[in-house]
Amino acid sequence: MKNTALYLNMISRYNAIAFTHSYILGFRYAGNIYMAYADAEMLPSILKLDNAGRNQGHSIRFCPNKGIKLALMPTATLLCSTKYFDAMVSNSKYNKGEIFEKLVTEHFGQQWHKDNVPFTEDGDITVANIAYQIKFERATFTTEKTLMKLERA
Protein backbone atom coordinates (compact mmCIF):
# COMPACT_ATOMS: atom_id res chain seq x y z
CA MET A 1 0.00 0.00 0.00
CA LYS A 2 1.57 3.26 -1.13
CA ASN A 3 0.69 6.53 0.55
CA THR A 4 4.02 7.99 1.55
CA ALA A 5 2.65 11.20 3.09
CA LEU A 6 0.20 9.33 5.35
CA TYR A 7 2.84 6.72 6.23
CA LEU A 8 5.45 9.27 7.27
CA ASN A 9 2.81 11.33 9.08
CA MET A 10 1.74 8.32 11.15
CA ILE A 11 5.34 7.44 12.05
CA SER A 12 6.00 11.05 13.07
CA ARG A 13 2.85 11.18 15.21
CA TYR A 14 3.70 7.80 16.78
CA ASN A 15 7.21 8.99 17.64
CA ALA A 16 5.82 12.17 19.20
CA ILE A 17 3.85 10.21 21.83
CA ALA A 18 5.88 7.00 22.25
CA PHE A 19 7.60 6.55 25.61
CA THR A 20 10.68 5.00 23.99
CA HIS A 21 12.32 5.10 20.59
CA SER A 22 14.28 1.88 21.09
CA TYR A 23 12.96 -1.39 19.72
CA ILE A 24 13.71 -5.09 19.83
CA LEU A 25 12.22 -6.64 16.72
CA GLY A 26 11.68 -10.35 16.16
CA PHE A 27 11.61 -12.26 12.93
CA ARG A 28 11.96 -15.69 11.35
CA TYR A 29 14.97 -16.27 9.15
CA ALA A 30 16.60 -19.46 7.86
CA GLY A 31 14.75 -21.70 10.31
CA ASN A 32 15.47 -19.58 13.36
CA ILE A 33 13.97 -16.79 15.45
CA TYR A 34 16.10 -13.66 15.78
CA MET A 35 15.86 -10.46 17.77
CA ALA A 36 17.40 -7.27 16.42
CA TYR A 37 17.66 -3.70 17.60
CA ALA A 38 16.16 -0.67 15.90
CA ASP A 39 15.49 2.97 16.68
CA ALA A 40 13.05 5.66 15.57
CA GLU A 41 15.24 6.73 12.63
CA MET A 42 14.93 3.22 11.16
CA LEU A 43 11.14 3.00 11.35
CA PRO A 44 10.41 4.51 7.90
CA SER A 45 12.57 1.83 6.27
CA ILE A 46 11.32 -1.17 8.25
CA LEU A 47 7.60 -0.57 8.80
CA LYS A 48 4.74 -0.60 6.31
CA LEU A 49 1.40 1.11 5.92
CA ASP A 50 -1.55 -1.27 6.10
CA ASN A 51 -5.32 -1.26 6.58
CA ALA A 52 -6.15 -1.67 10.25
CA GLY A 53 -9.75 -2.82 9.85
CA ARG A 54 -12.71 -2.45 12.22
CA ASN A 55 -13.00 1.33 11.67
CA GLN A 56 -9.41 1.86 12.84
CA GLY A 57 -8.22 3.47 9.59
CA HIS A 58 -4.68 2.64 8.54
CA SER A 59 -1.95 1.07 10.65
CA ILE A 60 1.82 1.02 10.67
CA ARG A 61 3.17 -2.49 11.08
CA PHE A 62 6.40 -4.46 11.26
CA CYS A 63 6.13 -6.93 8.36
CA PRO A 64 9.74 -7.51 7.35
CA ASN A 65 10.59 -8.92 3.94
CA LYS A 66 13.89 -10.71 3.29
CA GLY A 67 15.68 -7.44 2.56
CA ILE A 68 14.62 -5.87 5.85
CA LYS A 69 15.60 -9.03 7.75
CA LEU A 70 19.04 -8.99 6.13
CA ALA A 71 19.42 -5.28 6.96
CA LEU A 72 18.63 -6.06 10.62
CA MET A 73 21.02 -9.03 10.84
CA PRO A 74 24.10 -6.98 11.92
CA THR A 75 22.35 -6.28 15.25
CA ALA A 76 20.53 -9.62 15.43
CA THR A 77 20.86 -12.29 18.10
CA LEU A 78 19.68 -15.87 17.60
CA LEU A 79 17.04 -16.78 20.19
CA CYS A 80 15.82 -20.23 19.14
CA SER A 81 14.74 -22.40 16.23
CA THR A 82 11.39 -21.75 14.55
CA LYS A 83 10.44 -25.33 15.47
CA TYR A 84 10.97 -24.61 19.17
CA PHE A 85 9.18 -21.25 18.88
CA ASP A 86 6.17 -22.74 17.08
CA ALA A 87 5.94 -25.50 19.70
CA MET A 88 5.95 -22.87 22.47
CA VAL A 89 3.14 -20.98 20.74
CA SER A 90 1.13 -24.18 20.15
CA ASN A 91 1.42 -25.21 23.79
CA SER A 92 0.53 -21.81 25.23
CA LYS A 93 -2.43 -19.52 25.65
CA TYR A 94 -0.22 -16.67 24.42
CA ASN A 95 0.22 -15.44 20.84
CA LYS A 96 3.46 -15.23 18.84
CA GLY A 97 4.18 -11.67 19.95
CA GLU A 98 3.74 -12.54 23.60
CA ILE A 99 5.89 -15.66 23.32
CA PHE A 100 8.59 -13.62 21.56
CA GLU A 101 8.40 -11.02 24.34
CA LYS A 102 8.80 -13.85 26.90
CA LEU A 103 11.87 -15.23 25.08
CA VAL A 104 13.48 -11.78 24.89
CA THR A 105 12.78 -11.06 28.57
CA GLU A 106 14.26 -14.39 29.63
CA HIS A 107 17.25 -13.84 27.30
CA PHE A 108 18.08 -10.83 29.46
CA GLY A 109 17.67 -12.83 32.67
CA GLN A 110 14.41 -11.20 33.65
CA GLN A 111 11.09 -12.78 34.56
CA TRP A 112 8.32 -12.19 32.05
CA HIS A 113 4.72 -11.48 32.93
CA LYS A 114 1.91 -10.46 30.63
CA ASP A 115 1.03 -6.80 30.91
CA ASN A 116 -0.88 -4.18 28.97
CA VAL A 117 1.17 -1.06 29.67
CA PRO A 118 0.46 1.49 26.90
CA PHE A 119 3.35 2.37 24.55
CA THR A 120 3.00 5.97 25.71
CA GLU A 121 3.82 5.05 29.33
CA ASP A 122 6.72 2.57 29.19
CA GLY A 123 8.56 0.01 27.11
CA ASP A 124 8.04 -3.75 27.30
CA ILE A 125 11.46 -4.32 28.87
CA THR A 126 14.25 -2.22 30.34
CA VAL A 127 17.84 -3.35 29.76
CA ALA A 128 20.83 -1.30 30.94
CA ASN A 129 18.49 1.61 31.73
CA ILE A 130 17.06 1.62 28.18
CA ALA A 131 13.35 0.94 27.71
CA TYR A 132 12.50 -1.09 24.60
CA GLN A 133 9.26 -1.85 22.81
CA ILE A 134 9.26 -5.49 21.68
CA LYS A 135 7.58 -6.38 18.37
CA PHE A 136 7.41 -9.63 16.41
CA GLU A 137 6.62 -10.09 12.73
CA ARG A 138 3.26 -8.67 11.66
CA ALA A 139 2.98 -6.57 14.85
CA THR A 140 1.03 -3.33 14.69
CA PHE A 141 2.75 -0.27 16.11
CA THR A 142 -0.38 1.86 16.04
CA THR A 143 -3.50 2.78 14.08
CA GLU A 144 -4.95 6.09 12.92
CA LYS A 145 -7.79 5.75 15.43
CA THR A 146 -5.39 5.16 18.32
CA LEU A 147 -3.27 8.14 17.34
CA MET A 148 -6.31 10.43 17.16
CA LYS A 149 -7.56 9.23 20.54
CA LEU A 150 -4.20 9.69 22.24
CA GLU A 151 -3.59 13.09 20.65
CA ARG A 152 -6.91 14.36 22.03
CA ALA A 153 -6.12 13.16 25.57
In a domain, 75, yes or no: yes
In a domain, 142, yes or no: yes
In a domain, 153, yes or no: no
In a domain, 135, yes or no: yes
The pLDDT score that the predictor gives to residue 153 is 72
Range of the domain at 103: 4-148
Q: In the chain, helix, strand, coil percent, each to 5?
A: 40, 30, 30
| The amino acid at 14 | Y
The pLDDT score that the predictor gives to residue 54 is 85
Domain count for the chain, please give it.
1
Whether this model's pTM surpasses 0.85:
yes
In a domain, 143, yes or no: yes
In a domain, 98, yes or no: yes
In a domain, 113, yes or no: yes
> Which residues of the chain are modeled with pLDDT < 50?
none
In a domain, 101, yes or no: yes
The pLDDT score that the predictor gives to residue 101 is 97
The pLDDT score that the predictor gives to residue 53 is 85
The pLDDT score that the predictor gives to residue 2 is 62
The pLDDT score that the predictor gives to residue 113 is 93
